[in-house]
Structure 1
Amino acid sequence: MSDHQDILAIDDDHAFTSDLKAFFHRKGVGVATISDSILAPALDFHKFKVVLLDLDMPGLSGEDVLARMPTVNRPIVIIVSGHSDLETRIRLLDRGADFFLPKPVDLTEVLLICRRILGRQSLDMDPGQPWALSRSRHTLRSPEGTTFGLTTSEFRILEFLIAASPNVVAKETLAKAVTAREGAAAVAFYRSLEVMISRMRNRFKGPDLPLPIKALRNVGYIFHGQGTFED
């Protein structure tokens, strides 16, 4: 494995990890790689901010490695695998993965997603008043003091994103959490999620302070401001 970097790739496909490492290096981003998944549980995962994890590996599968990773202050885990059916994606997201990218994957896309995640993690929180979400009244109060009424779906989206902040939430995870359903209902909501969040940004923004929900293309959403809950 290479010297310590913010990004770790665990994959027994030497051609893929070699191409990944060389491409990231050319773009000024360091990435460590490990090809033997048996060694993964002995790693100090707290040293990394993003882990790219394959599933189909000898010794320990990616799912086994994921299960042995720390649950507190763990890095963002992006599954990169040819097993990209919906059932597999949902199972891995339920078991702790943050995102899922199907192989073959474009290295430029992987790089942009990693950069976005690392950038969002380093954002400074707004030092002013927080966005306050009232659980009893289903309202959102902006740092400027404006109070907005929320629909049930809007409230659940904000509740989940604020609770998860500063971590990024995958679209599939958010859709499932908001609808509290699986299957067709969650898929239908997933498709309308982008439009709904766009409308929320337009409706809740102040003169100088937009609603701090950011979209990471093909990844998910993040609440990157200060958020708090009220009874």
Structure 2
Amino acid sequence: MKILIVEDDARVAAALSAYLRQAGYAPQTVGDGASAIAAVGPDTEAVILDLGLPDMDGIDVCRRIRGICGVPILIATARSNVEARIKGLHAGADDFVVKPYDVRELIARIEAVTRRMRTAQPAPQEHSVVQIDGVHINLSTRLVSVEGAPIELTPKEFDILAVLARYPGVATPRDRIIREVWGTDWSGFSRSLEVHVASIRRKLDRPSLVVTVRGVGYRLMGS
């Protein structure tokens, strides 16, 4: 998932970027409002926006970005007053956290917002099919084939593959997969996840397709 970080404090931006990258995300940082508006593109999947920017107020940046696209926007700022929250939400923000915040909560909020967006707005048809290493994954019809031959996956196996297929090449954390597939944060499903991944590799006959990323989770990557 590509996340745009809009933060004028270079140290804060660097620390947040490093944490997100370690968690399997693809962060991009900018330090002012004009750069933020220019950086938002079709591949931007979430924006973390500070309000205290050097060239314009973050509320205006939020309003400008919302006028361009419907990307999820999470405001992260030191402004804790209710008025700032109301202005941000009216400008089009999807959520609001006050500094200092726990990065784990920030990530959980980003995932919650993007999950709601995916539920409310199904992926366009042109992005519903993923093809990699001879494997054809249709996210809309839930059909999988290898070199044209249909493969029968269990519902949980397909759900796991679909989570990875949405971001091919990106390391997806175990807890995120468990949260999206099982709907819980309970780590007890970690062993079940391993078993399902092993079954996916066997059924697809592509041992190198689902790569284990040590200490993080899994990545969909063809040989």
Q: What TM-score do you get using the length of structure 2 for normalisation? A: 0.49
Q: What TM-score do you get using the length of structure 1 for normalisation? A: 0.47
